[in-house]
Each structure stands twice: as C-alpha cells, then as structure tokens.
Structure 1
Amino acid sequence: MFLKFLYLLALFNFCRCSIGDKSPYYERCLLTCEKDFCGAGGDDFIDGYSQPLHLRLSLWSCRDECKYGCMWKTVDQFTARNWRIPQFYGKWPFVRIFGIQEPASVVFSLLNLYVHIKMIQKFRKVVRPDSPLFWLWHVFCLICCHAWLWSSAFHARDTPFTELMDYACAFSIILVNCYVMLIRTLRGILPRFVATGLSVFFLAFFANHSVYLGTGDFDYGYNMELNVLIGTFTAISWFSWSVYNKDRQPYVWKCAIYVSLTGLVLLLEVLDRPPFFYLFDTHSLWHLATAPLVVLIYSFAIDDCHYLRKIELEQVKDDLKSKIE
C-alpha cells in the first residue's frame, strides 16, 4: 500500500502542467526571440552570431537558446511577484554550465558509474573467477554502468534520443536487479535449461519494452507502473530471502539494508521541489543517495560468492569422502 501511495504521488507530480512554458510572458518572449535571432526552422542564428564552441558541441540550436533565455526571464517575472518558481516542459529551471543542462544530476550519475567500476574492481580482486555466480555480478555491473552513462548523457543534454536511452536504461537497472535476485535465490532449484530460458525471457522482455518506448507515443503511466511493479517484487523477494537465510548466512543483512534504503531514498523522487541554487533538485539528490548503496550491494556480492564457493568446496570434499568409503 505504501509503495502504491508513492507511485500515485510520483505520477501526480509527473502529470502536473508546466505553467512556465504555458505562461503568456514566456510564449511572447520565445516568439520574439525566434523572430529576431533565428533562421528558418529555428536551428541556425542570423546576423552572423558566433555561438561559443561548448554550446555548439552540445548541440544548442537557436531555438534552444531562446528557450533557455526566455526561461530565466520568466523566472525573474515570477519571483518578482513572489510566485512559486515554475517548471518548463516538465522540468525545473537549472543553471547551465558549459552547455550541461542539469550539472548536479550529471555529476552524481557519473559518481554512481565510478562507484560501480571501483567496486567491480574490488570484487575481482577478492573473488576467484571460478566462484559460483562470478559472472552474474559482472552482468549486473555492465548493465548498471551502461545505464548510468546514459543517465549522464540525458541530464547533460535532453534530446528525444537521450531521453529514450535514459528511460530504457533505467528500466534495464530495474530488470537486472530482478534477474540477479531470481538467479541467486533460486540457485540450486532451477534446472540449467530453465535458468537459460529465464535469461532469454528477460532479454526479450527488455527488447520488447525498449521498442515500445522507442515509438515515442508510449503510456508514461504504464511505464512507471511496470517499473514500480518489478522493483517492488524484487525488493520484497530479496528482503524475504534475506530474513529466511539470516541465521545460515549472517552477511545477508547487507542485502536487506540495501533494498530497504533503496526504497527509502525513493522518497526523494516524490518530494519534487524547486532546485537549491538552481543546481540541486531532489532528483539529483536521489542520484547522490544511491551511490553509497552500490558499495553495500557489492559487499554483499563478495560475501555471497565466498559463501557459495565454501559450500561448493565442502560438497566436493563430501563427495570424494563418500567415494573413498
């Protein structure tokens, strides 16, 4: 019920109209700017204006520049009247730094990428390659790193393509967490051919959903509901498995804390507030909060691989002993 409540609040925040770009002042400003400074189509500048190199490299067109300039003029008009800071096209106004639209979210997304890389390096140093499920955590790392890279790209420059990749890769993180959970918790129960079939199913499901997102006319509510449903199932399953195995595997508290804190920091996505100093919004702080949790899940992975290897070696010894006898 609580997670359903979070979902409804997040959906409510998402569906609110952006009064900034709908305001008459903004619309007049944008119309005048494009008329005075932009050529046909709104991409090129007229009157020989030379755009700074970093803005050209980040593909800021004349129309984009007009939107950015008029956004701040509109914000000034709102704040001068003590009105609430408005959103524009579903986003809060952010200070652009070297052409990067949301600098804090970019930095914190790259921080998550960095932590994944550092932790998989630590994992490889202390876990033997022949350990059970050694491969699984590399798949997890690869998919997460790919997703955080595209998260950085999207927050750096919001385009239809980077938005698609951000949505698809965010879903890939949700899906790979579910996949890792199923492979680990059902290890020893699933026959090999069933585990292979499960892998094919997850790949096909992800490909199908990515194609659906690529249509550009998808249901945002359905996409969010699907993410929440899979994420909730994964969290409940991980937590239940951890509680069940806490006596035999004391280290599983790390997994339980990981899923609990992941749900807790999700509250930052619900608390949609204007950014502090026009840099730090709650979404960027959510990215910051997830970085330390990466350390926790890899610490669990290291302990779990050590445990599985120990059990496997004990089983081999027992089999040899029984054959000798």
Structure 2
Amino acid sequence: MKNNGMALDVPLISVRYARRYLRFVQKRGINGTIVLENAGIESAILENPDAYLSVKQICQLLGQGEKLLDDVTSSFRFGQELDLQGHGLFGFALLGQQDFRKLVNMVVQYLRVSLPLMDMEIHCSGDLISIRLHDNWDFGELKPTIANIYMGSIHALASLVCRRFTFEFDFPCPGKSLGWQQLANDVAVRFNCPANRVLMPLSGRQIRDDDASVAGYLAAARSREDLEKTDSLRVATLVRQEIMREPGRNSSLERIAQKLGMSPRSVRRHLGLADQAFSAIRNEVRETFATRYLEETDMPLEKIAEHLGYSDQASFSKAYRSWTGHTPGEIRRSRRS
C-alpha cells in the first residue's frame, strides 16, 4: 500500500470536509450520526473547526456513506458541492486573478495541500487544460469514489472559466451510463481510460477585464447557503418548541414532523443543515426539564421519568447521568443539604 502504516493515521484532512459530507448525505435522507458511528468517528471532533481527520478516518466515513447512498454518481455530485466556499476559499487571491490558466493552476495547487488524498498534475497546451489525478494512497475499492469527488469539485471550480469538460476514468462504468451522461449539460464522461483525467478547452472564452464573474459566483454561493441555513434554523427552532410542549413519549421525530406538516426525512435534512440533531435537541430539553423538577419540586423520580417519556426510573436515571455526570438522586440530595 502506498504511504501505508502509521501515515494513514496522521491527521491531514480538515473536518470541514467531513461536515460537508455529512450535510450531503443528510440532504438525501441518511442519518449522519449513523454514518459517523459506523465509521468510528467521535462527533465531538467535528465541532472543532481547527481539527483534522486522518486518511483512514476519511476513507471509513466515505465508505459508510457509499453503502447507504443509492446513487453511483453521488460521489461526483458531492464533489460538485465542494466549490470555492466548500474548500474554504472565500477571500482567496482568486478574485484578483484575470488569467484563466493561472486561476486553474492556483486552484489545483491549493487542493493539493488542503485535500491530499490524490495528487494533481496540470498541463496547458494551447487552449486546452488537462488535469490528471495521481494516487497518493492505495484506496482499493474506494478509488472511484475518491476520484469522482475530485472530478466533481474540479467541475464546480473550473466552471468559472470553462464551458466544456471531458472526464476520463481508469475504471469501468459504475452503474448505468445514462446517469453519468446526465451530470451536467457541459460534461462528457469516458471510462476504462489510461488515467483519471479531465480535459477543459478554453476556446471561446473572453479574457475578462474585471473580477465580476468570480465575485458574482461567490456572492450567489454565499446567498444560497445563507438562505438555506436560515430556513433550516427556523425548522430547528420549531422542533425545539414542539419538544418543550411535550417532552415525553409524544416527542418522537415522526410525531414532531407530523405536527410541523413535514416528513421526518425533511426534518432531519433541515436539522443537518443547521448543524443540529433531533436526539441532541430532545436530550437538551429533557435535561432542562429534569433538572428543574429535581431542584424545584418534590415530584417522585418515577413520575419525572414518566413525564419525560421513559419507561421506568432506571432508564431515566441512566440518561440523566449521561447528560450531567450526576444521578437524579445526587441532584436532589444536594438541594436538600
């Protein structure tokens, strides 16, 4: 295996990419928490914007997602969501770059550092730009997934300056060829080629005399995400309000979604976009209610458990201890002392 051994466990990939991938799968109705758990990744690490994941962890995450996504083109489509904003390139010097070839080269050099799963080699011949992918690691069956993520991202980034793309892959066509030909109007896809490569002709493009096209792209991308996140934050607020009204057994995802006139899948998707999870919101509400009952009332523990939707006192006590590190009895005794 290339770069094997301990190198696989060295933190190299920003958690930004893991968060984007979980958001991607959640929009398709897949529980991101399950993907994380099956990949053996602690959710707490994603809350640290400065944290990094190892190549092994990223591969485990992508592998679990691929098992659940029922679309052979999903990895390419995820790559398309890794635009300038997805790579954290806002404020990058691209805005001032007027030469198309230099702009593409700058993007390639940035990606080689920020997403070092594959290396990228760029060639310019006349009006044709060619970007070839080289393996840094032996990904095995996951290689098509990694290659497609890169290709999708190249398409998203280079669409600023190129009108047509030809993607060449060195593996057989996964699934039906029709789905690949429908990725975008400007895309042609070929399989069983000598290498993983994208060809981008620049002919017909005019050298721009200002940065309006890139600035407009950035503004549109930021606006789309802000609008989507604002709507999702509103849904998250409504979910919390409904759980506060009935924190017990009626606070299931299915019943909350029904009250909001939405499907459970749609609720999960919005919560994912708002970087929240249904179970976490419900636990926070239940913890708040439980602590208030314990500190301010003499309600028996079994009644508190029943009110919060637990089948018995033992289940409630176990949950409360996992939230606070203390048992309900300890909280109540401390109040009386």
Q: In which range does the TM-score fall when normalised by the shorter chain?
A: under 0.3
Higher relative contact order (CA 8 A, sep 6+): 1
Q: Which has the higher strand share?
A: 2
